[in-house]
Amino acid sequence: MATNRTFTMIKPDAVQDNHIGGILQMIEEGGFRIVSLKKVQLTAERAGQFYEVHKERPFYGDLVKYMSSGPIVAAILEKDNAVADFRTLIGATNPAQAADGTIRKKYAKSIEANAVHGSDSDDNAQIEGDFYFAADEQF
């Protein structure tokens, strides 16, 4: 059964280029409610853990370097059919293939610096949200 939450990050280039506001606006206008939100800088070790599933891929080393190169914004989002609808809103991994009206079409610079992350399953949405926010429950 599809749950109603997904997880996103605004990646370092988009943060550096002052697109936090523009991207959050597209997310809210896309019908998502922001449940949790924070700006953090990943160490290379933490970035490596987050993308562990890709560790055998040729782009892994560069991806870890990129994702720890500057602050990111992490958020848990809520909407019916959140995971699938958010993947539609962000567009294809490679911005050259991203559809008009998508976040990556508007803000991504390259297949690596592609502006945003979006979870690919309900299970990963839960795991990735916990990666950033589980320890915050004391607040």
Query: Could you say which residues in the range 49-78 bind Mg ion, by CB under 5 A?
Result: none
**Interaction pattern, residues 56-75, with ligand UDP; x per rule: CB under 6 A:** ---x---x------------
Half-sphere exposure of 125 (CA within 13 A, CB side): 25
Packed helices 82-90 and 122-133: angle between N→C axes, nearest 10 degrees: 80
Task: Report what 45 binds from ligand UDP, Mg ion, none; CB cut-off 5-8 Å by kind.
Answer: none
Residues numbered 106-135 forming contacts with Mg ion, rule: CB under 5 A? 120
Reading the block at residue 15, the tokens are: 């943060």
Question: Any binding-site annotation on 114?
Answer: yes
Choose the contact partner of 112 out of ligand UDP, Mg ion, none; CB within 5 to 8 A by kind.
ligand UDP
Which residue is associated with the tokens 């297949």? 111
| Cβ atoms 116, 107 nearer than 8 A | yes
Judged by CB under 6 A, does residue 120 bind ligand UDP?
yes
Rg of the chain over CA atoms, in angstroms?
14
Active-site option among 113, 117, 119, 128: 117
- Give which of 135, 107, 123 is closest to 38, Cα–Cα: 135
User: Distance between CA atoms of 53 and 49, rounded to whole angstroms?
Assistant: 8
Active site residue 117: yes
Of these, 93, 121, 124, 126, which contacts ligand UDP (CB under 6 A)? Answer: 93
- Report, in Å, the least distance between residue 93 CB and Mg ion: 7
Q: Which helix (H) or strand (E) holds 27?
A: helix 20-29
| Binding site residues, Mg ion, CB under 5 A | 120
Extract the annotated binding site for ATP: 11, 59, 87, 93, 104, 114
| Binding site residues, ligand UDP, CB under 6 A | 54, 59, 63, 93, 111-112, 114, 117, 120
